[in-house]
């Protein structure tokens, strides 16, 4: 099937509008897995089942360390169907307090030579009230470990961002296994300014308060950061995570950089502004992860995302300090069997290393931080 997908992608899919392909493929997956018993059967065949892949993190047990990153299922329409492809967990969103259409189309582009995607979707979603209603209706179904990623409504002024995030957190708290505060998308004006410690601290406090009001004061709370942060700002976020008792950091979101691409300049220019994901992000994302691990050690759960294509890529992130890893662009270029290939390859690498589990290998390539520093 891998060869078939590559032929299909090269001959047809790459020549179609990327957002249209996404919409059709997602609709097909939802339709196929809606047939009783199909999702369970597919999940049993493709899901992580090797015992060495099980991971304990964020107070939950994950059947495998590879999850689907936010952005694919913005409205929590089918996390069960996506998990059936072989992901160990699914992160939905980004969800904003108010519904919004996002940026004008076209807004999703492939840079095939670089195995990359440019998106300027702009947090298009139905809003946290409708997403919460959908998740409430699906209660009782077999659901994967579910992360919910929340962001700022575009029209909300920056000074009102804490209340905006808090409203989404309050509405969605009852359905999440962990919650992510996204302050790192380049497609909402001013959003990345919220990564500064001075603005991030009150925002996180507002979200914490909302989770407590919703009866979920201990729900794991993470923040997702950009690869474009300066090293000293990465350190500042790491220190904030420790001082504020954050449960995790996701590193990293997409980049606004276009350096080192193989795609002709005119094609890159035609794609325009937006966040770049995929293979070109690999090196910087790994650098940020290593810096975070050196700063926080195992006191904060790190989730790596950005440029993960192969089992070796995922293994490098784990050894650099990631307890969990995520992919999105890898699925687009690798096809529906990609999650299974990653997990199968990871199990092989764990065994070859002499470790008994993925968890034993986390951070083995990074020196332990100075415990007296923070």
Catalytic residue positions, numbered? 185
Q: Which pLDDT value is given to residue 6? A: 78
The answer to the question of residue 363 being in a domain is no
Please state the φ and ψ torsions of residue 150, each to the nearest 5 degrees: -115, 145
Q: Which residues are annotated as a binding site for substrate?
A: 74, 119-123, 182, 187, 253-254
Beta bridge partners, 276, equal 118, 255
Global confidence as pTM: 0.94
Sheet strands side by side (includes 108-111): 108-111, 116-119, 275-278
Domain containing 222 — which CATH number?
A: 3.20.20.70
Q: Which pLDDT value is given to residue 349? A: 97
Q: Kindly state the tokens that stand for 137.
A: 């209706």
Q: Which pLDDT value is given to residue 198? A: 80
Among 360, 359, 362, 299, which Cα is nearest to 55's?
A: 359
Q: Which pLDDT value is given to residue 371? A: 60
> For 109, left (φ over 0), alpha (ψ -120 to 50), or beta?
beta
Q: Which pLDDT value is given to residue 176? A: 97
The answer to the question of residue 374 being in a domain is no
Q: What's the rounded Cα separation, in Å, for the pair 117 and 150?
A: 22
Under 8 Å between Cβ of 55 and 359 = yes
Q: Which pLDDT value is given to residue 297? A: 95
Task: Give the residue numbers spanning the domain of 79.
Answer: 2-358
340 vs 88, 162, 208, 308, 344, CA distance in Å? Answer: 10, 39, 35, 14, 6
The answer to the question of residue 311 being in a domain is yes
The answer to the question of residue 137 being in a domain is yes
Count CB-CB contacts under 10 A for residue 342. Answer: 30
The answer to the question of residue 373 being in a domain is no
Q: Which pLDDT value is given to residue 312? A: 98
The answer to the question of residue 182 being in a domain is yes
The answer to the question of residue 139 being in a domain is yes
Q: Which pLDDT value is given to residue 26? A: 86
Q: Which pLDDT value is given to residue 32? A: 78
328 vs 58, 66, 190, 306, CA distance in Å? Answer: 21, 11, 24, 8
Q: Which residues are annotated as a binding site for FMN?
A: 70-74, 94, 149, 182, 224, 252, 278, 307, 328-329
Q: Which residues are annotated as a binding site?
A: 70-74, 94, 119-123, 149, 182, 187, 224, 252-254, 278, 307, 328-329
Block means of pLDDT (10 residues each) for the chain, 374 residues, are 74 85 87 78 86 96 97 94 95 96 93 95 96 90 91 93 97 97 78 75 95 97 93 91 94 92 94 94 96 96 97 98 97 94 97 95 84 57
Count CB-CB contacts under 10 A for residue 193. Answer: 13
234, exposed or middle or buried, with CB in 10 Å at 0-12, 13-18, 19+? buried
Under 8 Å between Cβ of 211 and 203 = no
Considering its fold, how many domains does the chain have in total? 1
The answer to the question of residue 193 being in a domain is yes
């Amino acid at each position: 099937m891998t060869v078939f997908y590559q032929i299909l992608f090269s001959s047809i899919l790459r020549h179609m509008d990327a957002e249209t392909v996404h919409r059709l493929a997602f609709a097909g997956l939802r339709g196929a897995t809606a047939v009783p018993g199909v999702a369970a059967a597919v999940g049993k065949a493709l899901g992580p089942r090797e015992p060495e892949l099980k991971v304990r993190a964020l107070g939950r047990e994950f059947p495998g360390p590879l999850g689907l990153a936010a952005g694919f299922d913005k409205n929590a329409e089918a996390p069960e169907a996506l998990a059936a492809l072989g992901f160990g967990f699914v992160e939905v969103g980004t969800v904003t307090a108010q519904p919004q259409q996002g940026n004008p189309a076209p807004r999703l582009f492939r840079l095939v030579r670089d195995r990359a995607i440019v998106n300027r979707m702009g947090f298009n979603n139905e809003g946290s009230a409708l997403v919460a209603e959908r998740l409430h209706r699906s209660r009782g179904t077999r659901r994967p470990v579910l992360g919910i990623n929340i962001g700022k409504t575009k029209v909300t002024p920056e000074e009102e961002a804490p209340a905006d995030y808090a409203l989404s957190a309050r509405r969605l708290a009852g359905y999440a296994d962990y919650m992510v505060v996204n302050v790192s998308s380049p497609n909402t004006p001013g959003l990345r300014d919220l990564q500064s410690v001075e603005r991030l601290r009150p925002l996180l406090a507002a979200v914490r308060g909302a989770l407590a009001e919703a009866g979920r004061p201990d729900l794991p709370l993470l923040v997702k950061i950009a690869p474009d942060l300066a090293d000293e700002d990465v350190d500042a976020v790491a220190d904030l995570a420790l001082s504020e008792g954050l449960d995790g950091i996701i590193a990293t979101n997409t980049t606004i950089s276009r350096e080192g691409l193989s795609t002709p300049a005119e094609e890159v220019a035609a794609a325009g502004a937006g966040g770049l994901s995929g293979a070109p992000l690999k090196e910087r994302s790994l650098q940020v992860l290593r810096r975070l691990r050196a700063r926080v050690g195992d006191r904060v759960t790190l989730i790596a995302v950005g440029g993960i294509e192969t089992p070796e890529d995922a293994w490098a992130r784990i050894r650099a300090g990631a307890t969990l890893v995520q992919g999105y662009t890898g699925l687009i270029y690798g096809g529906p069997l990609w999650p299974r290939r990653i997990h199968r390859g990871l199990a092989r690498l764990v065994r070859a290393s002499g470790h008994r589990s993925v968890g034993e290998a986390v951070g083995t390539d990074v020196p332990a931080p100075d415990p007296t520093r923070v």
